[in-house]
Amino acid sequence: MSGPRDREGGAGARGGAGGHNLRRTSQLTQEEADAVRSAVAVSTRVDGVEPIGDGPMRSLAGGAGTRHLLVHDGSGRLLAYANIEAPGTPHAMVEAFVVPDARGRGIASALLHAATTEAGSQGRIWAHGDGVAARAVAERMDMDVRRELLQLSRPLTDPALPPSRMPEGISFRTFRDADEDELLRVNNAAFSWHPEQGGWTSGDFDEHRAQPWFDPDGIFLAFDEAQPGALLGFHWTKVHAARGDEPALGEVYVLGVDPGAQGRGLGSALTLVGLEHLRDQGLATVMLYVEGDNTAAVNTYTRLGFTRARADVAYGWSS
């Protein structure tokens, strides 16, 4: 359902997608993965928004728990792709897109019907940017909004960042390998309710550590000086490399505070420490994602000068 300009109608034949070849697999070949990455880059340039998120992009390299649906024309050229995470479970998520020059042929609706069949009735379909076409497809499939993820952004230099203040009795430093267990503990406590961020294991962390953008000096940890071994919170920053005419972009990738440490001003303090780090690397802008119904977090970021840039929406069927 990705691509704000995707205008698709009609249903394809069973086993196909708009009359084209549909391949289903749990493991992409290297050639297939490279073709999806190239198609993502093209769609991003045309639509101004990435058609699939970080999780599906990482899954292209392999891993358990993901199904891939690929639509090809008669010559073998990739026309569309769908990624189904945790198919057949209550946490199933679908992200899909059609390459720009193949739109308008009935491929998107047929592909989404195939993907949601694999995902199950509790599955969700993400629409990045939530354009008019995505809402129209959701309406045709009798789906409604189940979740909204806001993208907020702000400049890093003008207006200037608010001055950072270290809460009394708290010390900050950057990540070391020995901190992994504590970081996972705080992450899972802070995001126990979150379908993607909660329940992380060492394997999840290792998957992120293997990414080219991973930088331990961009993960900031807060400790109580009276208990220096117990992590209170962390701010994991990320830098998106420059791409074409688009400059590098900073991100508040994960900000987590132990529920037992709430109320000590750690959220704002950690946020500003990370923003200063990104600013000092010469980045002009920073962005983040936050759940639309997380009013407290949205208010915190608004006070820090963030404004709404876009919304990604998960559509699904009512239980």
Residues belonging to the binding site are 54, 96-98, 196, 238, 251, 255-257, 262-268, 289, 294-299
Closest to 109 (Cα-Cα) out of 142, 146, 148: 142
Record the tokens describing residue 10, joined without a space: 């009609």
> For residue 162, what is the DSSP state?
P
Compute the half-sphere exposure of residue 19: CA atoms within 13 Å on the CB side of its CA.
Answer: 6
Identify whether the C-beta of residue 312 lies closer than 8 Å to the C-beta of residue 155.
Answer: no
User: What is the gyration radius of the CA atoms in the chain, in angstroms?
Assistant: 21
Angle between helices 202-209 and 180-190 (to 10 degrees): 110
d(CA 293, CA 92): 20
Instruction: Please report, in range form, the residues annotated as the binding site for acetyl-CoA.
Output: 96-98, 255-257, 262-268, 294-299
Identify whether the C-beta of residue 111 lies closer than 8 Å to the C-beta of residue 96.
Answer: yes
d(CA 312, CA 293): 13
Identify whether the C-beta of residue 83 lies closer than 8 Å to the C-beta of residue 94.
Answer: yes
Q: Which amino acid is at 224?
A: D
- Cα 295 off chain centre by: 19
d(CA 37, CA 48): 16
